[in-house]
Amino acid sequence: MSNAYQATLQYAQEQDEIDILFPFRERFHFPQHNDKDVHYFCGNSLGLQPKSVSYLMQSELNDWAKYGVEGHFQARNPWFSYHHLFSERLAKIVGAKKDEVVAANTLTVNLHLLMMSFYRPDAKRYKIIMEAGAFPSDQYAMETQVRMYGYDPNDAIIEITPREGEYTLHEEDILKAIADAGDSLALVMFGGVNYYTGQFFNLEKITAAAHKVGAYAGFDLAHAVGNIPLKLHDWTADFACWCSYKYLNSGPGGVGGIYVHEHHYSNPKIFRLGGWWGNEEKGRFKMEKGFIPQNNAGSWQMSNAPIFNMVAHNASLDLFEKAGMPALREKSEKMTGYLEWLLKQITHLPFVIITPSHPQHRGCQLSLLFTDRGREVFEKLTENGVVADWREPNVIRIAPVPLYNTYEDCYRFYEILMSIA
Ligand SMILES: Cc1ncc(COP(=O)(O)O)c(C=O)c1O
């Protein structure tokens, strides 16, 4: 397709006409700028609101008004089992069995809960490998986890950095670092897609390398879930967690997600912190002593499900179910490829795209690193109705999301960037 790309509005609109996912755009609310939809490229940060959310929210409010506490069992979607609504749809998105996933808690909380299970260091095996420049919350989680067990983060955490003069990691460097750490390594904890560069890591190979030295492999999928098709079960990843407010469009602070491979959730020796929602369901209201974890990933739940927080999740997962990850990925690769090509036509502004150009190594995010004038360009984009995001020290991230962005959005972005002197 790349040879046929054209930097014209007509070409972009023709691509939209033949895009089978185009109608999904209508299912979302777009913020306005001068009475027009903004060019929204920030779905990697906060996804847009599905229009069905307000109806579904009202219906949940009605059930609360009508049933009070009885809503736990009598609501249209009973609150007692509300989280079960998501398992099948989430399992398809992350490539897992339905018992291996649960929508619960929030991302950083889940990261800590999962590390309580999978990071159990001893004098010999206590190190963690992660990518340098991981999202700060992940860095803080690793740092405080190792401190909790009395280790020095400078010794216990091995960060893999890009080679001199480069921005992204080489797969061979990651695999070598894992092999070199050998039996001192307790855990490989990587982002699926790095939030800053947009690099997608080979989770299958990382998992295999971790297992080879006897370590666990866990992933923060904040920027991967709903962006790139995953096969967590087949890759035998040990655990993963994610948030739902980015590509999964489930609203600010939306419920998080957990995956745990079935080998582990069915192993009672895997320690997990207990809460009543993770206890066996049949004993939940018996109020008895003794935590009996559910025989599924649901055992990492803590509190009763935050229903109002889950309404948007329900609405959005319906759209994912209708669109399907394969079609979303196909469009994503094409549209991101088009936007990348358009950006490469721009020579008067001082930026480079640091996201890998091979579709296998990225999702839909492109990170533009400015050597100069980055903040000024970002502000001009904003004045012209583009919503992107700025990440210190010098990157503008843009994400053409296949569920609601269009080729025309990409063209308009290019046109606005071209017009900045
Ligand atoms: C990669 C990554 N990890 C962790 C977080 C923190 O998420 P939360 O505030 O939901 O815990 C974010 C938030 O954007 C993120 O992008």
pLDDT higher than 90, residue 109: yes
Q: Which atom of ligand 1 is nearest to the CA of 109?
A: 11
Same domain, yes or no: 331 and 295: no
Same domain, yes or no: 283 and 250: yes
Ligand 1: list residues with CB < 6 Å.
106-108, 135, 137-138, 191, 195, 220, 222-223, 243
CATH code of residue 284: 3.40.640.10
Cβ atoms within 10 A of the Cβ of 275, count?
17
pLDDT higher than 80, residue 212: yes
SS (H, E, C) the chain: CHHHCCCCHHHHHHHHHCCCCHHHHHHECCCEECCEECEECECCCCCCCECHHHHHHHHHHHHHHHHHHHHHHHCCCCHHHCCHHHHHHHHHHHCCCHHHEEECCCHHHHHHHHHHHHCCCCCCCCEEEEECCCCHHHHHHHHHHHHHCCCCHHHHEEEECCCCCCCCCCHHHHHHHHHHHHHHEEEEEEECECCCCCEECCHHHHHHHHHHCCCEEEEECCCCCCCCCCCCCCCCCCEEEECCCCCCCCCCCCCCEEEECHHHHCCCCCCCCCCCCCECHHHHHHCCCCCCECCCHHHHCCCCCCHHHHHHHHHHHHHHHHHCHHHHHHHHHHHHHHHHHHHHCCCCCCEEECCCCCHHHECCCEEEEECCCHHHHHHHHHHCCEECEEECCCEEEEECCCCCCCHHHHHHHHHHHHHCC
Same domain, yes or no: 284 and 149: yes
Same domain, yes or no: 146 and 260: yes
Q: Among 304, 334, 363, give the residue marking a domain's end.
A: 304
Count of structural domains within the chain:
2
Residue 300 Cα to ligand 1 midpoint, Å, equals: 18
Same domain, yes or no: 376 and 233: no
Residue 59 Cα to ligand 1 midpoint, Å, equals: 30
pLDDT in tens, 124-142: 999 999 999 999 999 999 9
What angle (nearest 5°) sits at the alpha carbon of residue 138, between those of residues 134 and 144?
Answer: 130
Residue 46 Cα to ligand 1 midpoint, Å, equals: 11
Same domain, yes or no: 218 and 344: no
The preferred substitution site among 42, 107, 140 for testing ligand 1, maximizing ligand atoms within 8 Å of CB, is 107
The preferred substitution site among 45, 112, 138, 243 for testing ligand 1, maximizing ligand atoms within 8 Å of CB, is 243
Q: Give mean pLDDT, residues 234-244.
A: 98
pLDDT higher than 80, residue 191: yes
Buried b (16+ CB within 10 A) or exposed e, 377-409: bbebbeebbbbbebbeebbbbbbbbbbbbbbbb
Residue 222 Cα to ligand 1 midpoint, Å, equals: 6
Q: Which atom of ligand 1 is nearest to the CA of 191?
A: 1
Q: Which residue's CA is the nearest one to ligand 1's atom 7? A: 107
Burial category of 68 from C-beta neighbours within 10 Å (exposed 0-12, middle 13-18, buried 19 and up):
exposed
The pLDDT assigned to 285 comes to 82
Query: What is the spatial distance between Cα 350 and Cα 101, in angstroms, rounded to a whole number?
Result: 43
pLDDT higher than 90, residue 15: yes
Same domain, yes or no: 294 and 368: no
Q: Give mean pLDDT, residues 54-81.
A: 97
Residue 345 lies in a domain: yes
Residue 65 lies in a domain: no
Residue 352 lies in a domain: yes
Map tokens 């190979």 to a residue: 205
Q: Among 304, 338, 361, give the residue marking a domain's end.
A: 304
Same domain, yes or no: 227 and 91: yes
Q: Confirm if 189 and 128 have CB atoms less than 8 A apart.
A: yes
Cβ atoms within 10 A of the Cβ of 119, count?
23
pLDDT higher than 80, residue 1: no
pLDDT higher than 70, residue 233: yes
**Percent residues over pLDDT 70 in the chain:** 99
The preferred substitution site among 42, 105, 108, 201 for testing ligand 1, maximizing ligand atoms within 8 Å of CB, is 108
Q: Which residue's CA is the nearest one to ligand 1's atom 14? A: 45
Q: Which residue's CA is the nearest one to ligand 1's atom 4? A: 137
Q: Give mean pLDDT, residues 328-341.
A: 98
Residue 69 lies in a domain: no
Q: Confirm if 310 and 83 have CB atoms less than 8 A apart.
A: yes
Show the domain range for 18.
Answer: 2-51+325-419
The pLDDT assigned to 97 comes to 98
pLDDT higher than 60, residue 2: no
Q: Give mean pLDDT, residues 96-118.
A: 98
The pLDDT assigned to 3 comes to 59
Residue 387 Cα to ligand 1 midpoint, Å, equals: 20
Residue 319 lies in a domain: no
Same domain, yes or no: 273 and 145: yes
Q: Give mean pLDDT, residues 310-334.
A: 98
Residue 129 lies in a domain: yes
Residue 253 Cα to ligand 1 midpoint, Å, equals: 10
Residue 290 Cα to ligand 1 midpoint, Å, equals: 33
Residue 284 lies in a domain: yes
The pLDDT assigned to 266 comes to 87
Residue 12 lies in a domain: yes
Residue 107 Cα to ligand 1 midpoint, Å, equals: 6
Q: Among 254, 275, 304, give the residue marking a domain's end.
A: 304
The preferred substitution site among 112, 131, 195, 391 for testing ligand 1, maximizing ligand atoms within 8 Å of CB, is 195
Same domain, yes or no: 412 and 300: no
The pLDDT assigned to 284 comes to 82
Same domain, yes or no: 220 and 360: no
CATH code of residue 393: 3.90.1150.10
What integer best gives the mean pLDDT of the chain?
97
Same domain, yes or no: 335 and 409: yes
